[in-house]
Amino acid sequence: MPASLCGTWDLISSANFEGYMIALGISPYLRKIALKLKLRKVIEQQGDQLIIKTASPFRNYTVSFRVGQEFGEFTQGLDNRHVKSLVEWEGSKLVCEQTGEKKNRGWAHWIEEDKLHLELYCEGEVCKQVYKKNVNE
């Protein structure tokens, strides 16, 4: 059983977020704002059902899905695209494939040394983020 992703997690490091956003076609203005955000992940899981909320003072984004079941995702407030998403466990990694206009798009979450790791993929760009558990929330 993989370590639980559940809880409130605060961003402590981010690499190549800029490259990922450029690949998504995000404007320089929004990229500048996004780069400075103190992102938070709030993850809830009930069986195969997960809710991942990405929260910031600027915008929030929530995705809710069942593992192994394809769903339509609209990335509202991000790049505003419609994709077909499928999330599956690959060993202890929770891996999402987002099929649509952008090639090789998706993300992966896993736990390593009490930290929540995230890789965001788009067209060959990889953004790597690490989140620390916030025990007060």
Residues that bind ligand VL7 (CB under 6 A): 21, 24, 26, 30, 34, 37, 41, 52, 54, 56, 58-61, 63, 78-79, 107, 118, 120
Backbone angles phi, psi at 39, to 5 degrees: -75, 145
> Min. distance of Cβ 4 from ligand VL7 in angstroms?
15
> Min. distance of Cβ 73 from ligand VL7 in angstroms?
8
Neighbours of 33 (CB within 10 A): 13
Instruction: Give me the sign of the Cα torsion angle 69, 79, 91, 46.
Output: negative
> Min. distance of Cβ 58 from ligand VL7 in angstroms?
6
> Min. distance of Cβ 34 from ligand VL7 in angstroms?
4
Nearest CB to ligand VL7, comparing residues 56 and 91: 56
Instruction: Work out the burial of residue 45: count CB atoms within 10 Å of its CB; fewer than 13 is exposed, 13-18 middle, 19 or more buried.
Output: middle
Nearest CB to ligand VL7, comparing residues 61 and 126: 61
Query: What is Dmax (Cα atoms) for the chain?
Result: 42
